[in-house]
Amino acid sequence: MRYLIIGGVASGASFACRLRRLDEQAEIKIYEKTNFVSYANCGLPYFIGDVIKEESSLTLQTPYSLKARFNIDVKLNSEVIKINKEDKTIVIKDLKTNEVYLDYYDKLIIATGAEAIKIAPLSNKIYELKTVEDSIKIKSIINSKENNIKDVIVIGGGFIGLEISENLVKANKKVTLIEGSKHCLASLDLDMASFLHNELRNNGINLLLNTLVTKIEEVNNKVRVYFKDNSYLESDILIESIGVKPSSKLAKEAGLDLDFKDSIKVNNNFQTSDKDIYAIGDATSIKSFIDNEITYIPLAGLANKEGRELANYLVNNDNIDLKALGTSILKIFSLNIASTGFNEETLRRKGIPYEKIYLSPLNHASYYLEASPLTIKVMFDKSNFEILGAEIIGNGGVDKRIDVLSTAIKFKIKGYDLTKLELSYAPPFSSAKDPINMIGYMIENIKNGLIRQHYFEEVDSLINDKNVMLVDVRNKEEYELGNIPSSINIPLDELRDNLSKLDKNKEIVLICQSALRSYIGCRILSNLNYNTSHLAGGYRIYSMIKHDQGLTN
């Protein structure tokens, strides 16, 4: 059987190597249009910031290593320009010699990945970051004394835009990051993204949100970026990282069916509308694990899994049941930012009923060095208490918790059953009650009717509601540093001695810094027959969002 693969990197190389491990007799050939067949594309921003110092560190496999170990033939600088379904051939152009020739296949695997969405064509002033060649070019230009690059504009606040912005700051460049929507990183909700925005600003990045770029042009050796009101900014160079779209032009021209966002349409086994052509990786869409609907999630982990699963299917006829949660993580300066499943914006858009909780536990024991808070948001099904999505931000311990929550979603663990998980504990790593257990306790309390919540988006209406009394149970010093208008201050430990100040005819909404003390206060008052609830996430979430909105507006 002769397998031709269009594209290396994640899915194509993963498929080829797994296929060889299962079938020693197969003929396997990869056509890759760049000069690198298998490289760490997620590491490219860190090469620019000199965190990864050697270019060779970005290369995972070479044509030589793939041939020597796996007997896989690799053709670099070789662009497939046409697929002929009828006679099962492809047309290849050698990008170095311009020679055009044919090759034939029994099975064809399209792993062309994604391509960058661009406003302006690339030039010696305008760049994208997609390949090793791109990273070498950008690093060379910003480090050149002759070019004297000081100011860089980055368009797009997704994964690549954020990571390249951080690494440009580390390279001592002044960075302006422009994002067209109301917050960076689409996998987060606005409330959680506020912490990210604060981190970017604190590290010197000029962050422009809700800002649409209408035109880009080069003027007097500068790049000029125009906005809707015809105002503009200038920089020495510009990097476009607006997002990506499936690289499906080749498939479309071959007459293959397309799907969501013009991705290549495939069945559960990654077979296209042609029985001998398959597509994997960022060129395709995939079903969501949460609601089984088609979605587009261009992540390296998924692409690698798809390559492996397809090889299993083609050799062993193992049917594939791969669905995506979109679990992801990135580091921006001191913050680790992770998410899995659906965020609140997606749940609202899809009309999926949900409840949400916030908590701010420490990442490890408070008495151990450098303990710091995690900010955790979890969405769960209101009817069966299964987890639908989660977002976590913190300085450490984020990866462990998001992976546990991703596993919980995958295996449909009830939110309240997280209380039963036995998780590793020692002071440098966690607390005796891990934040994951705390999530379970909170969902269990909601399930059992022990607590009612209000959210930050309700605060303005609560302030104006004559049937509501806002009581801040933080200590006096905390309250005086900032508080919600119309709230009164009764510290938690003084609550029992000040019951006369509370109106039993009103709903008593308690507020504290993170919602832990307010929960305890709610239990005290509920047991005394007060109508009580608390502010989910506490003043910490509320104040961060208000601060961020003030800067954005």
Query: Per the domain annotation, does 255 fall within a domain?
Result: yes
Once rounded to an integer, what is the mean pLDDT over residues 338-355? 97
Inform me whether the pLDDT recorded for 173 exceeds 70: yes
Residue 447: φ, ψ to 5°:
-60, -40
pLDDT at 553: 56
DSSP three-state, residue 114: strand
Is residue 182 located within the same domain as residue 33? no
Strands (E), 480-523: 488-489, 507-511
Q: For residue range 199-228, list pLDDT tens digits in order.
A: 999 999 999 999 999 999 999 999 999 999
Inform me whether the pLDDT recorded for 505 exceeds 80: yes
pLDDT at 547: 86
Pick from 396, 418, 447: which residue ends a domain? Answer: 447
Is residue 122 located within the same domain as residue 234? yes
Is residue 514 located within the same domain as residue 457? yes
Is residue 470 located within the same domain as residue 495? yes
* Proportion of the chain above pLDDT 90, given as a percent: 89
Is residue 148 located within the same domain as residue 214? yes
The Cα angle at residue 57 between residues 237 and 115, in degrees rounded to 5: 50
Is residue 91 located within the same domain as residue 167? no
Query: Per the domain annotation, does 325 fall within a domain?
Result: no
Higher pLDDT, 548 or 95: 95
pLDDT at 154: 97
Q: Are 54 and 43 in contact (CB under 8 A)?
A: no
Inform me whether the pLDDT recorded for 385 exceeds 80: yes
pLDDT at 93: 98
Closest CA to 158 of 39, 377, 304, 326: 326
Strands (E), 95-212: 100-104, 107-110, 114-116, 126-127, 151-155, 174-178, 206-208
DSSP three-state, residue 413: coil
Query: Per the domain annotation, does 328 fall within a domain?
Result: no
Threshold 0.85, pTM exceeds? yes
List residues bridging with 246 in a β-sheet: 114
Is residue 513 located within the same domain as residue 481? yes
Query: Per the domain annotation, does 550 fall within a domain?
Result: no
Inform me whether the pLDDT recorded for 53 exceeds 90: no
Is residue 249 located within the same domain as residue 110? yes
CA distance 483 to 479: 6
Query: Per the domain annotation, does 425 fall within a domain?
Result: yes
Inform me whether the pLDDT recorded for 41 exceeds 80: no
Rounded to the nearest integer, the mean pLDDT of the chain is 95
Once rounded to an integer, what is the mean pLDDT over residues 162-172? 95
Pick from 285, 316, 347: which residue ends a domain? Answer: 316
522 counts as catalytic = no
List residues bridging with 93 in a β-sheet: 79, 100
Supply the range of the domain harboring residue 24. 2-114+245-316
Query: Per the domain annotation, does 205 fall within a domain?
Result: no
pLDDT band at 193; cut points 50, 70, 90: very high
Inform me whether the pLDDT recorded for 5 exceeds 80: yes
Q: For residue range 419-466, list pLDDT tens digits in order.
A: 999 999 999 999 999 999 999 999 999 999 999 999 999 999 999 999
Is residue 270 located within the same domain as residue 379? no
pLDDT band at 95; cut points 50, 70, 90: very high
Query: Per the domain annotation, does 350 fall within a domain?
Result: yes
pLDDT at 144: 87
Query: Per the domain annotation, does 552 fall within a domain?
Result: no
* Total of domains in the chain: 4
Cβ neighbours of residue 65 under 8 Å, at least 6 residues apart?
Answer: none
pLDDT band at 57; cut points 50, 70, 90: confident
Once rounded to an integer, what is the mean pLDDT over residues 144-162? 94
Is residue 34 located within the same domain as residue 88? yes
pLDDT at 50: 83
Inform me whether the pLDDT recorded for 551 exceeds 80: no
Q: For residue range 265-324, list pLDDT tens digits in order.
A: 999 999 999 999 999 999 999 999 999 999 999 998 999 999 999 999 999 988 898 999
CA distance 178 to 155: 5
Report the half-sphere exposure of 141 (CA within 13 A, side-chain side). Answer: 21
Burial grade of 408 (CB within 10 A; 0-12, 13-18, 19 or more): buried
Once rounded to an integer, what is the mean pLDDT over residues 405-417? 98
Is residue 371 located within the same domain as residue 442? yes
CA distance 267 to 464: 54
Report the half-sphere exposure of 83 (CA within 13 A, side-chain side). Answer: 25
- The residue from 42, 184, 512, 522 that is catalytic is 42
CATH code for the domain in which residue 146 is found: 3.50.50.60
CA distance 495 to 108: 71
Is residue 463 located within the same domain as residue 433? no
Inform me whether the pLDDT recorded for 493 exceeds 60: yes
Largest CA distance in the chain: 89
Report the half-sphere exposure of 457 (CA within 13 A, side-chain side). Answer: 5
